[in-house]
Amino acid sequence: MRKLFFIPLIGMLFVFTACPPDVVEEPEVVDRLQVAILTGEGFHDGEAYMPYAYLTNLGAEITVIGPEIGTVEAYNSDFTINIQRAVEDVRVEDFDALILPGGQAPARIREVEAVVDFARDFFNSGKPVAAICHGPQVLITAGVMDGKNATAFEGIQDEMEEAGVIFHDESVVIDENLITSRTPPDLYDFCAAIEEKLMREPHI
């Protein structure tokens, strides 16, 4: 059953990455924005790779960061992703936006103090932070969600509300520098919201 996911996933990746030559030569994000994807073992493949492909297609440079350098596996397929830099070795100043994919990874990496500290510092910098599905769990542990309008996978709604979140059952919710979405069907809206935020407020 796991293999069945590959056809639509690869197709979606193709849609995001295949574009006319003039778009590649003159990307909308001209200044080579730097975007970090923070994840770990048990990530959700689509929630990591779709923003990766979408923003790369706009000309942004993506760096995958996590608790430690190495290859990690998705929980929902045989896909893997390479963590290029350990979170302890990067700075908030290195990036213009932070993305937190869902899956099982957020529950694991939220146990790593350096991950939580980085997420907190990034959020407090005012730069865009985008979290989908279980991704907001890292921000809950970081203690930055109280009073925020946000959404997530319905299974963590109670946890979100206990952390002080004003929960909305919508495809994408934006509250200042925070962007949240629910599940993979919301990925297009999620990616578009990240793009809009970066284009409106580049290089904070």
Q: How confident is the model at residue 79 (pLDDT cuts 50, 70, 90)?
A: very high
pLDDT digit string, tens, across residues 40-53 = 999 999 999 999 99
Catalytic residue of the set 44, 134, 168, 203: 134
The answer, yes or no, to whether residue 1 has pLDDT greater than 80, is no
How confident is the model over 185-190, as a mean pLDDT? 98
134 catalytic? Reply is yes
Reported in sequence order, the residue ranges of the chain that DSSP labels E, i.e. its strands, are 34-38, 61-66, 70-73, 80-83, 85-86, 97-100, 129-132, 149-150, 166-167, 172-175, 178-181
Provide Rg for the chain, Cα atoms.
Answer: 16
Domains, the chain: 2-9+31-200 (3.40.50.880)
What's the mean per-residue pLDDT of the chain?
88
